[in-house]
Structure 1
Amino acid sequence: MPSKPKNRVGEVYGKLTVVRISERRTKSGNAFWWCRCDCGREREVPGDKLSHNTSRKKPVVSACLQCSRELQIESVTIKNDRDEVRRREEAQCNRRQLQGQVPDSWLRLPLTDAHARELGQVLFFRGTRCLRNHLAPYRINGGCLACAGQKPSA
C-alpha cells in the first residue's frame, strides 16, 4: 500500500491550482490531483508532473489541455516572428552589399517570402545565391528565377 501523499490542495503550478486529490494512482504509486485552470476547466494531473522546477528534465503540467495548446501555439508564433525578423535583417544586409551589382528593380522587391505574401506579391529578393550559384529573385512558392530560365542571373 503506497504512503499517503503530501497535501497539495491550494498550491499553484503555472495556471493550475490544486483543488482535491483523486482516487487514481500512477503505476509507480504517485497520486493524481484534480487541478483547476485559470480559465475554469479542471484537469486530473499526476503528482510527479506538478513542479515549480522549470529546469528539470521530466515534463511539467502547468495548464489545462486547451490552454496548453494555446501556450504552445503562442510560443511557436513568437519563435517564427523572431526568425522572420532575423531573415529580413540578413536580407537587408546582403542587399546593401549588392547595390550597383544587381538591377534596382530587384532591390525594390520584398525581402523574404513572408514579406512578399504580406504585400500580395509573388517575387522576393533576399540577396543570396541559390544552390546552382545564381543570384536572382525567387518565387514565393520556391525556386530561383534563373534556375527556371525566366530571368538571367546577375
Structure 2
Amino acid sequence: MPSKPRNRLGEVYGQLTVLRASERRSASGNAYWWCRCSCGREREVPSDKLSHNLARSKPVITACLQCSRELQIEAVCAKNDREERERRQAALEARAALKGLVPERWLQLPLTDAHARELGQVLFFRGTRCLRDHLAPYRINGGCQACAGQTPSAL
C-alpha cells in the first residue's frame, strides 16, 4: 500500500491552486490532485508535476491545458519579436558602416524581409553579403539580386 501523500490543499503552483486529492495514483505511486486554474478550469495533476522549482529537469505543470497552450504561443511570439528586433538592429549597424559605399536608394529599403512585408515592398537591404560574397538588395522570396543577375554587387 502506498504511503499517504503530503497535504497540498490550498497550495498555489503557477496559475493552479490545489483543491482536493484524487483517488487516482500514477504507475509510480504518486497521488493526483484536482487543481483549479486562474481561468476557472479544473485539471487533475500528478503530485510529481507540482513544484515551485522551475529550474528542475522534470517538466512542471503550472496551468490548465488551454492556458498552457496560450502561454506557449505567447512565449514563441515574444521570442520571434525579440529576434526580429535583433535582426533589424544588426541590419542598421551593418548599413551604417556602408554609407557612401553603396547606392543611397539601397539604404532607403526596409531592413529585413519581415520589415519589407510590413511595408508591402518586395526588396530589402540588410547590409550583409550573400553566400557568393555579393553585397546587394534581396527579394523577400528570391534571394540576392546580384545572384539573380538583376543588380550588380556594390563591392
Task: Note whether the superposition's TM-score is higher than 0.5.
Answer: yes
CA distance in 1, matches of 2:36, 2:65: 11
Counterpart in the other structure of 2:2: 2
Aligned to 2:43: 43
Percent identity, aligned pairs only, is 77
**Aligned counterparts, 1:22-101, within 5 A:** 22-101=22-101
Q: Distance in 2 between matches of 1:73 and 1:52?
A: 22
Match of 2:132 in 1: 132
Deviation by residue 1:14-43 (Cα, 9 ceiling, x = unmatched): 000011111111111000111110001111
Structure 1 unaligned runs (5+)? Answer: none
2:152 corresponds to? 152
TM-score normalised per structure 1: 0.97
Deviation per residue, 1:70-115 (Å, 9 max, x gap): 1111111111111111111110111011111111110000001111
Question: Structure 2 length as normaliser, TM-score?
Answer: 0.97
Amino acid at match of 1:36: R
What amino acid is aligned across from residue 70 of structure 1 in structure 2? E
1:109 — aligned with what?
109
Aligned positions, number: 154
**In structure 2, what is the Cα distance between the partners aligned to 1:116 and 1:69?**
30
Letter in 2 for 1:61: I
CA distance in 2 between counterparts of 1:73 and 1:145 reads: 35
Distance 1:10 1:82 in 2: 37
Cα distance in 2 for residues equivalent to 1:49 and 1:65: 14
Distance in 1, matches of 2:88 and 2:77, equals: 16
Distance in 2 (CA, whole Å) between partners of 1:125 and 1:97 is 13
- The 1:151–1:71 alpha-carbon spacing in structure 2 relative to 1, beyond 3 Å, is same
Aligned CA distance change for structure 1 residues 142 and 7 (closer, same or farther; 3 Å): farther
The structural deviation recorded for 1:142 is 4.1
SS at 1:3 equivalent = coil
* Structure 1 position 148, deviation (Å): 1.1
Q: Which runs of 4+ in 1 moved over 6 A?
A: none
The yes-or-no answer on 1:13 pairing with 2:13 is yes
Partner SS, residue 2 of structure 1: coil
> Using the alignment, how far apart are the partners of 1:107 and 1:3 within structure 2?
70
Secondary structure in 1 matching 2:118: helix
CA drift at 1:146: 0.8
